[in-house]
Amino acid sequence: MMRRSLWLVPRFGSCKGLLGSPRLRPQSVLHRHPPRQVLGTSFSSSTDALVARFCPKTTDLKDYALPNASWSPDMMRLYEEFLEKTKDGEWIKLPSFKSNADHIRGLKVPGGLTTTSKEDGRLFTRFLEKEGQGYEYVIFFNPAKKKSVCLFQPGPYLEGAPGFAHGGALVALVDETFSKTAYLSGHGLFTINLNIKFKNLIPVGSVALLNVELEKIEDHKMFLSCIAQSPDQQVLFAKVSGVFLQLELEEEE
């Protein structure tokens, strides 16, 4: 029965009935621009509170978004560049734990949806413990501007066309970067829609930069965009738009 309770978007596009509508606490304000203003007060947690919880100062959890020996000089250079930008607090380097359950400890989805990962559960984009062969990435988030940059170095296990990253591997990471940006910017919780235009293939081992922005919030939906390109901005890999549903997690009793 659980599966049937998980309607994210009813067939006819209404938001009614989502995850048991009585428990839904939607964003009541509706603005177009700028993104900073769209985040109203109908949610009990601000972006600052969400970020503080998401980035614990002390934790025994492994952070997968830290440099390792597999990172190329390009990847390291960009990482250092963005790390520099975190010093004045404008940008934040997001930690990346093994499972989303680790990121939302003590919280639950309204409507009774489980937030417990299986014992061996892993976030898809962190599927591999071994460094360098799967996803290598780190997300930097700008809380004031509600935007993110993800540095992405695809390993050989992400192959589609021989020697190049699978389109699906890129989409999954864009979805993941959208997801973190939407959550921290205003309780965006579930992907409703993704639209991807592929332009160029990403060679395995190279670096791609995903520039993600929150465009607007309307009717409890957050609209995000992503431009994936080479660090020198000379090669466009893909353009993506996404829509996320806002839903506030509740404190567990």
* Calpha distance 227→239 (Å, rounded): 5
The region of 57-65, 85-93, 140-148, 173-181 touching a second copy under the rule CB under 8 A is 173-181
* Calpha distance 206→253 (Å, rounded): 46
* Calpha distance 23→117 (Å, rounded): 22
CB nearer to a second copy: give 55 or 113: 113
CB nearer to a second copy: give 127 or 144: 127
| Least Cβ distance, residue 206 to a second copy (angstroms) | 7
The footprint of a second copy on residues 230-249 (CB under 8 A) is 230, 234-236
Taking CB under 8 A as the rule, does residue 58 contact a second copy?
no
Note if the bond before 34 is cis, omega within 30 degrees: yes
Taking CB under 8 A as the rule, does residue 69 contact a second copy?
no
* Calpha distance 106→34 (Å, rounded): 32
CB nearer to a second copy: give 36 or 110: 110
Residue 210 near residue 173 (C-beta atoms within 8 A): yes
Does 175 qualify as catalytic in the annotation? yes
The region of 20-28, 50-58, 125-133, 137-145 touching a second copy under the rule CB under 8 A is 125-133
Taking CB under 8 A as the rule, does residue 117 contact a second copy?
yes
Residue 244 near residue 226 (C-beta atoms within 8 A): no
3-state secondary structure 63-97: CCCCCCCCCCHHHHHHHHHHHHHCCCCCCEECCCC
Among 45, 200, 211, 225, binds a second copy (CB under 8 A): 200
Phi–psi pair at 102, nearest 5 degrees:
-70, -30
| Least Cβ distance, residue 205 to a second copy (angstroms) | 8
Which residues in this chain contact a second copy in the complex, by CB under 8 A?
2-4, 6-9, 11, 99-101, 104, 109, 113-118, 120-125, 127-128, 133-134, 156-163, 165-169, 171-176, 179, 190-201, 203-206, 230, 234-236
- Annotated catalytic sites, by residue? 175
